[in-house]
Each structure stands twice: as C-alpha cells, then as structure tokens.
Amino acid sequence: MKQVAIISIDGGGIRGIIPGTILQMIEEKIQEKTSNPQARLVDYVDFVAGTSTGGILGCGMLLPDPMSPDRPKFSMEEVVNLYHENGGTIFSKSLGHRFKSLFGVREEKYPNTNLKKVLNEYFGETYLSEMLRPCLFTAYDIESRKATFFKWGKACDDISHDFYIRDVAQATAAAPTYFEAALIKSRFGSEYPLIDGGVFANNPSMCAYAEVRKCVFDTIENPTSKDMLMISLGTGSVKQSFPHKRAKNFGLVQWIRPLIDIMMSGNSETVSHQLEWLFDAGKNQESYIRLEPELHDAKPDMDDASTSNMNALRDAAIKFVKDNPEKINNVVDRLISNRIDS
C-alpha cells in the first residue's frame, strides 16, 4: 500500500555532511537496485523537511534543473559537495572581523557574506514555489517572536509566502552567535528578520508530521502515521559531557555555546521519542526510521570545517551505512516499492 514518504533532516552546521552523505549513499543504492543511474532520491520522496543545515540539504535535493524543470538540478553527491568545497569558506573570518567581534563575544562569530555568496551560486533565482516536492523549512522571527515555517503549499497559493530559496536557506541556517540574523524579503516585498529554526525545532520531523496531516497526496487525504513512511536523519549523536564540577561555575559567556548545543540535541531527542510513540500507537512503528550515527573521530563543533574534520564526518556516515546494512537496505527497498505502489 502506498505511503507518504517523508525525509526530515536535523540542524547541525557543518555536521550536515553526515545526513547528506547517508542520503547520497541511499540514492546510489537506489540507482544500483533500479539499474537507473539517472534516478534521484527526490523521485522516491513525497515531502521534505529541514532545519538549518538540514534545510540547505533539503533545498539542494528539491532544486529544479532550469533546463529540465521537472528534474532535480543536483545529485545528492553534488549537494554534499557544497559542504566539502565551501565549508572552509563559509566558516572563515578575517583577522579584522575577529578583533571587531572580540572573537565572537561582541558580534556574530562569522560574517554572512561568504554563506550568502555560496547560497546564491547554488540556488540562484529559484523560488520556494518552484521546488520539486512539497516541503517545509523552519526559522524564527525575532521581531514578531514566532516560529516561521517556509511551506511550499503556501508559497504556491500566495506570493506573500513565496521566497527565493537562497533566502530560505540563509534564514533557516542563521544560527545565533555564529551568523547575524537574516533579513529577507518575500516575493510580495515584505521583510522578515529571521534566525535559525534550530532554536525551536532542530529536529523538524514533528513539524513535518503535522504539516503532512493536513495535505492530500494522490489518493491519500489527511494521512495519519499509518499512512506515512518517515525517514528522520540526525547530524551525529553528540556525547560531549559537561561535568558538574566544572559546569557549576559557568557564567553567561561559558554557558552560551554549550547551551545552544544542549537545546538543539535535547529537542532532537524529544521529537524522536514523540514520533516513536506516535507510530507505535498507530501500529506502524516500522515506518518511523531514525538514522543518527555516532561522531566517532569527528568533532561535535558545528563550525569545524577543517578538511580533516569534514573527512571525519563523511567517514562517520559511511561507517554507519556499512555497519547497518539491514536498516539502510530496508530504507532503500521501501522507498522503491513505495513508488511502485503509487
């Protein structure tokens, strides 16, 4: 029976290499099993959700090819290469910016000029309404003080909810203390001051679930958990501890970075627990699949874009796929059979 296939990708900065690499390997396995080198992951997916780096990956996955608008512009390998080729540039700062920001104390740690340049090069003039599949990306409006959801459906219905994808990607990835808040305009011309959606939904799977419940997919109207195949990807399980003996004396400055990390990982764990319960209650527990590798030799820092760490992140993803063949092959087989059933 056809299910609504959902891909949801967590936030995590440069650690987006992990879910990106896993999705690349899933796409390659689909190509191998279908004997179709032109097959793309998006061909087997009905809905995509992403926060922060997960939003960038989702945008890359769904971006249409200008020469063939019903096909994706990038393979997942090309999407992941955005990180390998540009990570060091995005997370770099001049000596002048270091002093001006007092090494990230007075201002954001990194100027957003390089990030905006990379996003503009990759995503160009494409609008949210032109994405290949229904999707949702998260951000937070710091003036109106409310969660913001970039939704493909709303963008298609109303230009006041339509945005350049490059701006959506910048907004969802504007992590506090790392980058300045994004100020973007809708297609209608309204301005929105936004920060990283990870402040409230680092794991956007529950947001995806709620949105999909309201939608119609072919013959499936208002699907419940029984009608969904949810594949949720994390950016690496962070095991860094903060011993009480040291943390009890933390002040504001010492708590800033650990608190951001704890809040984001705590949100991801909570949402995963909630979805496990939801799918279990719907007697469809096998259709909620969480892919969350250990970091192994990779560092947990969201901004460590050194070549060695980016390679370690890639290796952690590869190891996870190789160590979990049954789980990964199950994802591949179910995506393929789900498309056949449609």
Residues belonging to the active site: 52, 196
CB proximity list for 218: less than 8 A, separation 6 or greater: 2, 342
Cα separation, 42 vs 76, whole angstroms: 9
Q: How far is CA 189 from the centre of its chain?
A: 26
- Sign, CA dihedral 115-297-48-76, equals positive
- Cβ-based burial of 262 (10 A; exposed 0-12, middle 13-18, buried ≥19): middle
**C-alpha count within 13 angstroms, C-beta hemisphere, residue 324:** 20
Q: Are 224 and 283 in contact (CB under 8 A)?
A: no
Record the tokens describing residue 289, joined without a space. Answer: 């699949």
Total Cβ atoms within 10 A of residue 191? 10
Q: Are 103 and 160 in contact (CB under 8 A)?
A: no
Cα separation, 27 vs 23, whole angstroms: 6
- Cβ-based burial of 147 (10 A; exposed 0-12, middle 13-18, buried ≥19): middle
Q: Are 162 and 127 in contact (CB under 8 A)?
A: yes
Residue type, position 23, single letter = L
